[in-house]
Amino acid sequence: MAELTTKEFNEIYKKYFKEYFDKPLKEDGFKKKGTINFYRMNKLGLLECLNFQRHYDSMTVNYLIQPIYCDILKDAILLGGRLGDFKNGNDYWWELKDEEEIKNNMENILEVIRNDLYKWFQRYEDEDKYVEFYRNFRYQTKIYEYIIKATTFARFKEYDNILPYTAKVKEEYEKLSQEEKERQHFKDTLNEALLLEEKLKEGKESVDEYIIEREKQSLIELGLDKMFNKKQKVKK
């Protein structure tokens, strides 16, 4: 079989991408942004994201639940991975060398998404399981580990658990070199912790209101505010 030209490949790729991803994922409640990202709001009011990644003639899918209540980490892959996790437990990439392979492997990707990934998403619609994940979460950059814990506890109303972790954020910031302290992402992390402490001093309702506004602002910053008009209250 003759090798596909770049034009032929792209036309075939787009054809089957539309057939196996655009239409089915829309049926499953996902909304497409750009050409490779799909989003769906789950029962906890958090974003489920699918990111299709292609490298020459192979592809995979990154998946995550975005903690949009945490400013600094709202689009980080903390709770997520790659679709190969469900295929063979490795970083598996599907080959796309010819039309038959493109069609068959895109069909297989959709099957893995629907048969395996959706079960994983469903698991973390359970509030206890979601919070437990971050309660036990470990991360190499400790200042990020502590801010995601603090904001998760704020989001799910474990108010007594907030201050211990905002304190740890401040401790980690003080351990940084002067050069590191000037980096914007570290300053933003510290400021997020300080703001959360301020809201907690004002009272639990102030924390709840802060989280609601933070999630709305995250959607704006991610360019998803028109796609998801987040009117719902934080779950009580």
Q: Can you give the pLDDT at residue 235?
A: 41
* pLDDT higher than threshold 60 for residue 193: yes
pTM of the model: 0.91
Q: How confident is the model at residue 232 (pLDDT cuts 50, 70, 90)?
A: very low
Helical pair 184-202 and 204-221, crossing angle rounded to 10 deg: 150
The token duo for 72 is: 């600094």
* pLDDT higher than threshold 90 for residue 4: no
Q: Can you give the pLDDT at residue 25?
A: 98
Q: What is the mean pLDDT of residues 195-224?
A: 97
More confident residue, 42 or 1: 42
| pLDDT tens digit sequence for 122-148 | 999 999 999 999 999 999 999 999 999
Reduced to 3 states (helix: H, G, I; strand: E, B; else coil), residue 92 is coil
The token duo for 34 is: 């750009």
Q: Can you give the pLDDT at residue 71?
A: 97
* pLDDT higher than threshold 50 for residue 85: yes
Instruction: State the Cα–Cα distance between residues 77 and 37, nearest whole angstrom.
Output: 14
| pLDDT tens digit sequence for 10-56 | 999 999 999 999 999 999 999 999 999 999 999 999 999 999 999 98
Q: How confident is the model at residue 233 (pLDDT cuts 50, 70, 90)?
A: very low
Instruction: State the Cα–Cα distance between residues 208 and 204, nearest whole angstrom.
Output: 6
* pLDDT higher than threshold 70 for residue 194: yes
Q: Can you give the pLDDT at residue 5?
A: 87
DSSP 8-state class, residue 94: E
* pLDDT higher than threshold 90 for residue 6: no
Percent of the chain with pLDDT over 70: 96
Query: Mean pLDDT over all residues of the chain?
Result: 94
| Closest residue by Cα to residue 234 from 40, 39, 46, 31 | 46
Q: Can you give the pLDDT at residue 234?
A: 43
Q: What is the mean pLDDT of residues 84-101?
A: 91
* pLDDT higher than threshold 70 for residue 231: no
More confident residue, 233 or 25: 25
Length of the chain equals: 236
